[in-house]
Amino acid sequence: MNRINQKFKSLCELKQKAFIAYITAGDPNLAITEKLVHALEKVGVDIIELGVPFSDPMADGPTIQAASERALKNNVSLTDILAMVSRIRKTSQVPIALMTYYNPVFHMGDEQFVAHAVKAGVDGVIIPDLPPEEAVGLRKYSLNAGLSTVFFMAPTTTNERLKKIVQTATGFIYYVSLTGVTGARVSLSKSIASDIRRVKRLTAKPVCVGFGISTKDHMRKVGKYADGVIVGSAIIKEIEKNIGKKELVANVSGFVQGLVNALRKV
């Protein structure tokens, strides 16, 4: 059982929901990313989603695009990120999933990517532009190596396709709460509760909700129905606000702790 599966098992026993934090690896640099991973674990984050910076993202809004640009200016590569995960593993067992577009994986090769990721201590992979039908090779190597492959669902996904996705996904289901790209939103979709229930009727696998979630009120609303909540752009904004400050890690982890505490009260 990899760390992601073990985490959901433990949270289920505690009747708690997972807090998944997304940060772009290398924003503003890899040294700070590494410190942030440890700090976020200390304030209660259950799973870390590390974004692999990419020049042509299709699912990311302006906030995460800007974070990727900052990381790419530092020439941060997939290899650099895997080396960082290896260092993190010397002192931490927090579950880590890589959020990457397929191009860097394709360049490395599916089999080599899975082998290197697992060796480094990565627990799962999320690839927005790789649907299950095109992920046969990656899934085969991942299943053999114990690497979770997380796939997306959206409000527009049909029930027929939902069934296919829940059969192929491992680790958890990533439910996109809205139609559009990533980015903090003021309000959530009015149908989010019924949307989550629709997915959960088809699977016993954990269903985690992301895109647009940014406030304590969002934590409480989504946490009532989902198995986990994913926050990305709101955290990236805090990083951006604190670039150049000695208190960056403390300020960002403090902001995240407030969201974690709100989720724990659900």
pLDDT tens track for 93-129: 999 999 999 999 999 999 999 999 999 999 999 999 9
- Interacting residues of 72 by C-beta distance below 8 A, sequence separation 6+: 26, 53, 55
Calculate the CA 158 to chain-centre distance: 23
pLDDT at 30 over 80: yes
User: Which is the catalytic residue, given 27, 49, 110, 227?
Assistant: 49
Q: Evaluate if residue 242 carries a pLDDT over 80.
A: yes
Q: Mind listing the domains of the chain with CATH numbers?
A: 3-264 (3.20.20.70)
Indicate the pLDDT class of residue 183, thresholds 50, 70 and 90.
very low
Asked if residue 161 lies in contact with residue 125, where contact means CB atoms within 8 angstroms, the answer is no
157 class by beta-carbon count within 10 Å (0-12 exposed, 13-18 middle, 19+ buried): middle
CA–CA dist 46, 113 (Å, integer): 24
Instruction: Give the C-alpha separation, 14 to 9, whole Å.
Output: 9
Respond yes or no: is residue 238 known to be catalytic.
no
- Reply yes or no on whether 49 is catalytic: yes
Q: Residue type for 32, please?
A: I
d(CA 246, CA 122) in angstroms, rounded, equals 29
Query: Looking at the predicted structure, is the pLDDT value of residue 27 above 90?
Result: yes
- Marked catalytic residue, from 27, 41, 46, 60: 60
**Mean pLDDT confidence for 15-34:** 97
